[in-house]
Amino acid sequence: MRQNKTILIVDDSELNIKILSDILKEKSYRIALARSGKAALEFVKMKKPDLILLDILMPEIDGFEVCTRLKANPETRQIPIIFISGLDKSEHIVRGFKAGAVDYIVKPFQKEVVLARVNTHLKLNETRQKLKRKNRKLKDLLNEVEYLSFHDDMTGLYNRRYFENELDRLDASRRLPITLLVADMDNLKIVNDNYGHKMGDMYIKAAAEVLEKSSRNEDIVARIGGDEFAIILPETDFRTAEKIYQRIKFNQRKYNQQRELVECLNISLGFAVKTKSEQNLDQIFKKADKMMYNNKGKRIYSS
């Protein structure tokens, strides 16, 4: 446990403050003092103690109210609070726990009891904070794993696994029409053979950029193979699909015009539309794929 923890003692009695301070100094705790509930709340705004020893009976704002306010604030609710009081009636103890306290020390103070309970709750709180940090890291790691399991590492697009999962999910959907668009790069082998795979990777990323830029937010753009891509266009009819098809061709031409490339970026496209619930998306994909292969060789250059 980290040493030199700060303990805030909140009590309007000079004698109680002196007794508790003397006990805690034996363990080298840093001691902060507040002689009223209002002063305690002001102190916590400026600096967060590691633990609070809080008297119940104080003028203006009593310990129950101070505890309730601290526990209602997200920035201070994790600070452990131990009530100190001469009131040992069960209803006061229960009320203290309901307000959010973690423990209760009854006056007159016994050194061993005070030190044991302070140490216990400091350790518990530190362990709790460590677990929270580890849980956050674990959650971030799980999110990263989930992202990587459904995204293509090179392009950042969805991968084949995600694409196929979405096809299965949407196959039973009544929200029609659904369009599937298939895209295939025409000249990746030429680029790889003549300029190397690093250059080929750049062309794959370029194709991904064109397809993503041409799609809408609700569309699912995926890289499903080495130079193969597919887009799911939800609730998209033939006319709208044709517009997106032409937008891709336009953005491809624009890409070629704006960059000095060793080879023109050429993407063959095809699409098909599911208009009836009894149609199967696998068959729709095959129709789109067939259209794409029929378009092979009809290259779109910058001229």
List pLDDT tens digits, range 200-221: 999 999 999 999 999 999 999 9
181 beta partners: 231, 271
Joined together, the tokens standing for residue 272 give 């098909």
Average pLDDT over residues 118-124: 95
* 108/45 same-domain check: yes
Q: Is the pLDDT of residue 241 over 60?
A: yes
Average pLDDT over residues 180-189: 95
Q: In total, how many domains does the chain have?
A: 2
Q: Is the pLDDT of residue 173 over 90?
A: no
Q: Does residue 155 fall inside a structural domain?
A: no
- For the domain that residue 65 is a member of, what is the CATH number? 3.40.50.2300
Q: Is the pLDDT of residue 70 over 70?
A: yes
Q: Does residue 150 fall inside a structural domain?
A: no
Q: What is the pLDDT of residues 129-166, one digit of tens each?
A: 999 999 999 999 999 998 899 999 999 999 999 999 99
Percentage of the chain lying above the pLDDT 70 cut:
96
pLDDT, mean over the chain: 92
Q: Is this structure's pTM higher than 0.85?
A: no
Q: How far apart are CA 273 and CA 238, in angstroms?
A: 6
Picking from 106, 141, 176, the residue at the C-terminal end of a domain is 141
Give the three-state DSSP class for 200.
helix
**pLDDT score, position 174:** 86
Q: Which domain holds residue 99?
A: 6-141
Q: Is the pLDDT of residue 301 over 50?
A: no
**pLDDT score, position 150:** 95
228 beta partners: 184
**Cα dihedral sign, 105-110-112-115:** positive
* 26/93 same-domain check: yes
Average pLDDT over residues 84-97: 81
- For the domain that residue 227 is a member of, what is the CATH number? 3.30.70.270
DSSP 8-state secondary structure symbol assigned to residue 178:
E
User: Which contacts (CB < 8 Å, 24+ apart) does range 31-34 have?
Assistant: 31/6, 31/7, 32/6, 32/7, 32/8, 33/8, 33/9, 34/8, 34/9, 34/10
* 99/182 same-domain check: no
- Residues near 302 by beta carbon (within 8 Å), at least 6 away in sequence: 253, 256, 257, 264
* 29/84 same-domain check: yes
Q: Does residue 146 fall inside a structural domain?
A: no
